[in-house]
Amino acid sequence: MTRVDSGTAAVEHAVHVVPTGAEIRRRRVVGLVALVAVLVVAALVSLVVGARALSPAEVWHGLFAEPDADQRQNEVRLIVQTVRVPRTVLAIVVGVALGVGGALIQGYTRNPIADTGLLGVNAGASFAVVSVVSVFGFADPTQYVWFAFLGAGVAGVVVFGLASIGRGAGNPLTLALAGQGITVFLAAMTTAVALSDKASLNALRFWNSGSVTGVGFDVIRPVAAFVGVGLVLALATLPTINLLNLGDDVARGLGVNITRSRIIGIVAITLLAGAATAACGPIAFLGLMVAHVARYLTGPDYRWSVPYAGLLGAVVLLVCDVVGRVVARPGELDAGVVVALLGAPFFAALVWRGKFKRT
């Protein structure tokens, strides 16, 4: 009798602690609000910390100050308005783009280790950069950033086109293989061009580091516009991704136009990753990391994990940029380098965790 009573009590306790749908939604909303708050704090820290530390009062004054006769006030104004603010805004835009893009590519390919580089956008952008520097002699990143975006877009279209023909058309594995093939080919072409031209090699070394510095609002505005279009397309496809992850047959049976959905998704990913990569170079592992953290926090529902991934991407990139300013004083480590240093062990932990589960 005692065993029956204790078993019944355990079952009642288990039923009691299972959260309801309303509680889960409330937790997710609270999590989003908390992430927005953390992002605001990280942005404020990004405005304060640098080669020259500024107080919050100086930052506030520098945001709205006009040219002044006082040399110190002018220096603060220039630092805040022309260096810190563009750098912070670009890190937020690029972080959101790569975070959302990473979550989307993992959802569409059903591959937990997929990254935006899987579509060949990073390789396409790199090849475009070295090509235009070699041919036209561009030296300023603002001159070749649009060619980088064009190269990323063309690479994404070619990969999707190759994955859409043949017997394996539309298969996530086919997309991954096509992306890997184009990436290897373009990487070889990039190396060949860079080694034959010193200016191209120098430009590639600078651009490949993944830096959010040196870009003004003349570049950030159009990049943000492309990212905005990509975000709209991404948000419109979130319910469909949930259905696609049930399998193509089930999704088709529920009325999903799989081909159209994948085309919209690939366009969104290409816009997001292409614009981000063109603006500051390839930043490895960011989309991969935050997509996994977002799914851990929200579960497999892409309507929640994708927004979480975007906010997490912005927070992580801002924090890595600030860390890069602090640890290498008086110089700096580019944000892409710090993200890679963080992402490599994260990726290794994912592999180890997967092996541990299989054993």
Segment 143-170, tens digit of pLDDT? 778 888 888 888 888 888 887 776 655 6
Look up the domain containing 226 and give its range: 26-358
Residue with more model confidence, 97 or 129: 97
pLDDT confidence band for 359 (50 / 70 / 90):
very low
**356 pLDDT above the threshold of 60:** no
For residue 126, what pLDDT is reported?
Answer: 87
| Residue 9, in any domain of the structure | no
Give the up-direction half-sphere exposure of residue 267: CA atoms within 13 A in the CB hemisphere.
14
| Residue 278, in any domain of the structure | yes
| Mean pLDDT lowest among 14-23, 42-51, 279-288, 295-304 | 14-23
Which two structure tokens, joined as six digits, stand for 19? Answer: 């959260």
**96 pLDDT above the threshold of 80:** yes
Predicted TM-score of the model (pTM): 0.87
**1 pLDDT above the threshold of 70:** no
**122 pLDDT above the threshold of 90:** no
CATH number of the domain within which 304 lies: 1.10.3470.10
| Residue 315, in any domain of the structure | yes
| Residue 21, in any domain of the structure | no
| Residue 10, in any domain of the structure | no
| Residue 14, in any domain of the structure | no
| Mean pLDDT lowest among 69-78, 190-199, 234-243 | 69-78
**17 pLDDT above the threshold of 80:** no
Report the alpha-carbon distance of residue 44 to residue 107 in Å, rounded.
33
Report the alpha-carbon distance of residue 291 to residue 104 in Å, rounded.
9
Report the share of the chain in percent with pLDDT over 90. Answer: 28
For residue 3, what pLDDT is reported?
Answer: 47
Across the range 48-55, mean pLDDT stands at 84
Which two structure tokens, joined as six digits, stand for 42? Answer: 């990280």
| Residue 4, in any domain of the structure | no
| Residue 15, in any domain of the structure | no
Angle of helix 21-48 versus helix 286-298 axis, rounded to 10: 140
Domains identified in the chain, total number: 1
